[in-house]
Amino acid sequence: MIPASARVAVIGAGPAGLMTARILQLHGIDVTVYDLDASAAARDQGGTLDMHPGTGRHALRAAGLWDAFTALARPEGEQIRLVSRGGEVLFDAAPPGDGQGNPEIDRGRLRDLLVNSLTPGTVRWGHKLERAEPLGDGRHRLHFAHGATTDTDLVVGGDGAWSRVRRLVSDAVPVYTGVTFVETGLNDADARHPELAALTGDGTMLALDDNLGFVAQRNSGGHIRVYVGMRTPEDWHRQAGVDLADPAAVRDALLERFADWSPALRGYITDTDTGYVNRPLFALPVPHVWEHAPGVTLLGDAAHLMSPFSGMGANLAMRDGADLAQALIDHAELDDAVIAYEKILLPRSVEAAEGAAEGIDGAFSPDSAEQTLAHMTAHH
């Protein structure tokens, strides 16, 4: 195990960083997590996640949180449905009935589970990292936006897509994938939007065709989160003269894009309870690798930001956290631990990112309807 005096600082209270901290604390290793959010509830954490056996579920078991997770999970959320642009259900896979599936959990509930598993005060909220200053011998001085500083022996970059820690080891920056999601949402869906709720089912509904699509996803509390997807220039709204702050203008522009789609599917656009949020999708170049640098490493999106069509982002992030923590437990020297971790991380990340790039290209292509149906039929 690394020395008890070692100072480990994790930047980012996402699934990867929190998982690292949880397992380190289980083994008596001191760790502090710094996050820019003012609190755990400061912002919406996004949609739902399914936990895979070799990644997310492995990490939860290593963290001693499997039973707590299953109490919050929604196995029914594993249902997946493919719908044609005309509104016809083409494929419908019910969740496995044997408990062998990949149970779903809302991102916010997962974050709360991980935060609440830590020693109080482990997460320092309201700490936005401005830069990490190398001090030599692998040590870094962390400079935060509000003026505070702290020195650390290991800085772990779990600070997401636009990671500042990444700059210590890599010049790579995320690039636009060519696909934008516009997020909408339905509240109290079964009561207020029964037809759309029925079309969505209990899990995820996909309707993908000719570079366009809808992804509707059940969340807890009766909410359905909807992503209206388009292969389009990143500045599509400027080219169309659409003010993103004008909901009516965004709605009309989306309806024009989906003019020949089923009125039932277009209801995901018109019936929103949450307005419209423009979300261009970015990914790191593939492969993203770096030369080892003493006293610093990356995990989660900071290491391998990829499109959501991998289905692996958060799962890999949690496995990253578990693997880094285990390496720090298994080695007496910080540098040896990080080298061992990166030997596992980098090839795994490259393989997953390649798959994610193929996934989004297939989902938003001229023949995406046929490709998606063939993929679902082969894998269910």
Q: What is the pLDDT of residue 105?
A: 87
Same domain? For 144 and 156 the reply is: yes
Same domain? For 302 and 276 the reply is: no
> Lowest-pLDDT range, 187-196, 254-263, 335-344, 371-380?
371-380
The per-residue pLDDT of the chain, averaged, comes to 92
Strands 89-93 and 149-152: unpaired
Percent of the chain with pLDDT over 70: 96
Domain boundary among 264, 282, 300: 282
Same domain? For 39 and 183 the reply is: no
Provide mean pLDDT across the span 231-255: 97
Give how far Cα 53 sits from Cα of 98, 99, 309, 325, Å. Answer: 14, 12, 18, 19
Same domain? For 296 and 159 the reply is: yes
Tokens of 243: 């003010």
In the predicted model, is pLDDT for residue 379 greater than 70? no
Same domain? For 297 and 268 the reply is: no
Domain hosting 183: range is: 176-282
User: Would you say residue 139 lies in a domain?
Assistant: yes
Number of separate domains in the chain: 2
Look up the CATH number of the domain holding residue 347.
3.50.50.60
For residue 143, how many C-alpha atoms fall within 13 Å in the half-sphere facing its CB?
7
Same domain? For 262 and 210 the reply is: yes
User: Would you say residue 322 lies in a domain?
Assistant: yes
Q: How far is CA 4 from the centre of its chain?
A: 32
Same domain? For 227 and 352 the reply is: no
User: Would you say residue 303 lies in a domain?
Assistant: yes
Tens digits of residue pLDDT in 134-173: 999 999 999 999 999 999 999 999 999 999 999 999 999 9
Q: What residue type is assigned to position 10 of the chain?
A: V
In the predicted model, is pLDDT for residue 98 greater than 60? no
User: Would you say residue 348 lies in a domain?
Assistant: yes
User: Would you say residue 92 lies in a domain?
Assistant: no
Q: Quote the CA–CA distance of 374 and 82 in Å, as a whole number.
A: 11
Domain boundary among 252, 282, 312: 282
Tens digits of residue pLDDT in 284-343: 999 999 999 999 999 999 999 998 876 678 899 999 999 999 999 999 999 999 999 999
Q: Quote the CA–CA distance of 94 and 79 in Å, as a whole number.
A: 5
User: Would you say residue 375 lies in a domain?
Assistant: no
Same domain? For 217 and 258 the reply is: yes
Q: Predicted confidence band at 96 (pLDDT cuts at 50, 70, 90)?
A: low
